[in-house]
Chain A
Amino acid sequence: MYPPQFKYLRASNLKEALEIMNSHDDVTVLAGGQSLLPLLKLRMIAPSELLDLNFVNELKYIKYEEEVLKIGAMVTHKNIYENKLIKEFVPVLSETAHNIGDLQIRNRGTIGGSIMEADPHADYLPTLMALDAKVKLKSLNGERVVPVEDFVIGPFQTSIEKGELLTEVIVPKNNYKFLIEKYARRKGDFALALLVLMADLSDNIINDFRIAVGSQDPKPIRLREIEEIVKGKKVEDIDVDNLALKLKERLNPLQDIHGSSEYRKYLTTALFKKMVIKLFEKEIKKEES
């Protein structure tokens, strides 16, 4: 399969990229290309121009400043997995990156590209939502910072405006205990069920709790009402079955040939129960021993 005809544009720095984004009408940004090229080949999209950001080295940084990680949009999944700062300050993001695709894909795919694609099945979104991460959008007229949760508005849709480029992902430091469950038929496939649970525990008390669920219609969700029930409680007072019921009511999974909505609801709920038990029971055992 060949991609459709398009004009290939290359930016060698950010200023050039922003100028092109500002003055061209039908231009699609090429980041890692690991989803974009298959979409082009399948004729799901056919932009008249592609703007390649791979030569913009200004977007390939990972910095840690004032308890916040700043990740350039063109950092690859492999670098996110291997980076020492990310492993130390936001380990949940490192593990999320490792769950994506396979080694070849992680070598090319980028965090900025993945967020911009806003695929509701994809790995990063629930983790970034649970982390209260934000994205920085730049244009010739200035910049704005938007929480990932608001930035993604639906399947393959974001609130980016004409002339804007996603340049940075901003992730607050987070060393909560966490669990990621990604259920897929084959390793590296998109998830049938995807959950991220994070908890800040001290002396058996849950100070903070976060849950985000992926593969949902129209986009991954952060379940704050469940978080509120759990927050401040003692670990032994957690009613897993009740939480699971509340979760199930809120689920609205995407369905396709890989699994019906009903099956995915069941799967997500079952995984959730298993995760809550694992996340909290371990802590109880530690206290006892």
Chain B
Amino acid sequence: MVKINLKVNGKSYTHEVADNLLLIDYIRDVIGLKGTHRGCDTGHCGACTVLMNGEPVKSCQILAAQADGSEITTVEGLEQDGKLSLEQQAFIDNHAVQCGFCTPGFLMMTHYLITNINHEMSDEEIKDYIHGNYCTCTGYKPIINAIKDAQKRYFELKKKDIPK
């Protein structure tokens, strides 16, 4: 057993976990946040993407023990006070969700992109960033549109915030 201390969506946790426990299983089964999805389980599909210290990673490819001391953000950490985040709203408004299985991974990637990329992203750039996330329903076009839309909303929000 390994003792770990970490923050998930701003809340601190301390647990004794099995040596071979994966971060995804820690998030889903120990903490009980089921929004992070297990897809291919081999590091290809990106459905399990979470942010670890602000960077997107695949939680099925990391041991819980390796996340000791880190800050994790999952899809549950996006909404604030019961209100959908702007990424989530952009995905709904652009019909970027069909079955919804891959959506949490895409939302985490979108959150990372809009908060870290400071220029308007082209379709090609977005494709390059999201090729570690698979979607077998939408054909990606609505997802790319949603990411662009989310970035636009984020820029607008920031502009609004700056004068205050």
Contact = CB atoms under 8 A, between A and B. Distances in A.
Given A3-B20, A5-B19, A104-B132, A33 B56 contact: no
Contact of B61 (A4, A7, A33, A52): A33
A2 B43 contact: no
Contacts of A229: none
A8 B49 CA distance: 23
A4 B93 CA distance: 43
Contacts of A108: 57-58, 61-62
B41 interface: yes
Contacts of B109: 103
Interface residues of B, number: 27
Nearest to B46: A104
B131 A6 contact: no
A107 B109 CA distance: 13
A240 interface: no
A239 B25 CA distance: 58
Given A2-B22, A102-B131, A37 B56 contact: no
B107 to A, nearest CB: 14
Contacts of A2: 20, 22, 25
Nearest to A78: B55
Interface string B49-70: 1001001111011110110000
A24 interface: no
Interface string A129-170: 000000000000000000000000000000000000000000
Nearest to A109: B61
Contacts of A41: 41-42
A62 B92 CA distance: 43
Contacts of B2: 8, 10
A218 interface: no
Given A2-B20, A102-B46, A103-B132, A8 B55 contact: no
Interface string A40-51: 111000000010
Interface in B29-51: 41-43, 46, 49
A187 B128 CA distance: 9
B132 A52 contact: no
Contacts of B65: 8, 10, 52
A8 B42 CA distance: 21
B55 A34 contact: no
B42 A38 contact: yes
A105 B43 contact: yes
Contacts of A8: 2, 19-20, 63, 65
A133 B150 CA distance: 43
A2 B49 CA distance: 18
Interface in A1-51: 1-8, 10, 30, 33-34, 37-38, 40-42, 50
Given A8-B2, A105-B132, A187-B128, 11 more contacts: A4-B20, A10-B65, A40-B20, A52-B63, A52-B66, A78-B55, A102-B46, A103-B132, A104-B49, A107-B56, A188-B131
9 contacts: A2-B22, A10-B65, A34-B58, A40-B20, A54-B66, A102-B133, A104-B132, A107-B55, A187-B128
Interface of B: 2, 19-20, 22, 25, 41-43, 46, 49, 52, 55-58, 60-63, 65-66, 109, 128-129, 131-133
Interface of A: 1-8, 10, 30, 33-34, 37-38, 40-42, 50, 52, 54, 78, 101-105, 107-108, 186-188
